[in-house]
Amino acid sequence: MKYHKIIICNTQTPNMETLSLWSLVMDGGYIMIPLALMLIVSIYIFVERCLAISRASKEDSSFMQRIRDYVHEGDLESARQLCKKTDTPYARLILKGVTRIGRPMQDVLVAIENTGNIEVAKLGKGFTWLSTTAAGAPMLGFLGTVTGMIEAFYALAMAGTGANIIVLSSGIYQALVTTVAGLIVGIVALFAYNFLVSRVNRVMTGMETKTMEFMDLLNEPAA
């Protein structure tokens, strides 16, 4: 009588613990604190600058025509009031130019350019933080990884004969978390910086266009 051996295979895989974002953050160590602060500040600067630049980029299609009419009529007070009411970077440039009417053209242009530099500097407030974060956050993450690797190998050495792969792998896993966090923060800051710079460049182009229109109208004969 023959007996057939029956082999029962267990196709169920063991339950594996899933990683959560919070657990990764907590496992990253103290380096995660400055990285988190850098991320929060970068997001705040991005949102605040987006709103400020959006307000600065608003244009009144009839603004320059009204300025031209006031200047040709010699009603400089109305031109100044219009600039103050509009309250945009290009309006403040034109306001500076209106207050310099009667002086040599070069003096008018220099006054407008100086005002333009101030307006651009205002729009670029916080950009230094974003560029520094974009470069520094990955380096800070690498620093956390290096220190974590040192701690992992130190723990392996202290384990002595009881050392195993679990002691080393757990330390390496925790160390690599800071690298990922640093890269994420750096990438976010880099994209935010480049986006804001492109928006400011568009505002600068509009300011330059309004400046040239104003300088041209000063040379136009009154109707």
Task: Give per-residue pLDDT as tens, 179-203.
Answer: 888 999 999 999 999 999 999 999 9
Residue 16 scores a pLDDT above 50? no
**Coil vs helix vs strand at 15:** coil
pLDDT value of position 153 = 72
pLDDT digits (tens, 9 = 90+) for 74-87: 888 888 999 888 88
- Specify which residues 101 forms β-bridges with: 103
d(CA 46, CA 14): 45
Residue among 149, 178, 150, 175 nearest 36 (CA): 178
pLDDT value of position 191 = 96
User: Cα dist. 218→62, 64, 65, 212 in Å?
Assistant: 18, 12, 13, 10
Question: What token pair was written down for 6?
Answer: 């029956």
DSSP structural state of residue 103: B
Question: What token pair was written down for 27?
Answer: 């496992």
8-12, 96-100, 185-189: segment of lowest average pLDDT:
8-12
**Coil vs helix vs strand at 13:** coil
pLDDT value of position 74 = 84
pTM beyond 0.85, yes or no: no
Taking 3-state DSSP, the helix, strand and coil percentages for the chain, each rounded to the nearest 5, stand at 80, 0, 20
Grade residue 15 by pLDDT with cuts at 50, 70 and 90: very low
Residue 142 scores a pLDDT above 60? yes
Name the one residue in this structure whose structure tokens are 């919070």.
22
Q: What is the chain's mean pLDDT, rounded?
A: 82
d(CA 136, CA 133): 5
pLDDT value of position 168 = 66
pLDDT value of position 3 = 46
50-76 average pLDDT score: 87
